[in-house]
Amino acid sequence: MKFLSKFEAPAYALMRLILGFLMACHGFQKLFGGLGGAKASGALLIFGGVIEFGGGLLVAVGFQTRVAAFLVSGMMAVAYFTVHAGGGFFPIMNRGELAVAYCFAFLYIATRGVGKWGIDKSSS
């Protein structure tokens, strides 16, 4: 299916934009109690909300993409090990599969950079 390779750049840009937006929504829930979630209490959850909201927005618009994605990736790793890992070895059992998926998706974005349709001028 080599013909799909011509869509690689726009598909990556859409992935970056959508994952960033989804992460920003998680942060919005924690910080403001919107989108069907409760406002977070506790310094660690609020700090996580700031990273989710700010980092998600930065990744979505493609500004300081590598740094923001790396911070979000690390925050998701911390979330997995502090919230989910105690519930069993496999992420599907401890309900941490979304944290693992976000962690590695944002790590990929951190290694790849902004790509197309971002504020950052570098495409690599």
Q: What is the pLDDT of residues 44-90, one digit of tens each?
A: 889 999 999 999 999 999 999 999 999 999 999 999 999 999 999 89
Indicate yes or no: pTM above 0.85.
yes
Under the banding of pLDDT at 50, 70 and 90, the label for residue 98 is very high
> 35: Cβ–Cβ under 8 A, 6 or more apart, which residues?
25, 28, 29
Give the helix ranges, DSSP H, for 1-124.
Answer: 8-32, 43-61, 65-79, 91-94, 97-112
- The CA distance from 39 to 29, in Å, is 6
Cα gap 112→103, rounded to integer Å: 14
**Residue written as token pair 């911390």:** 78
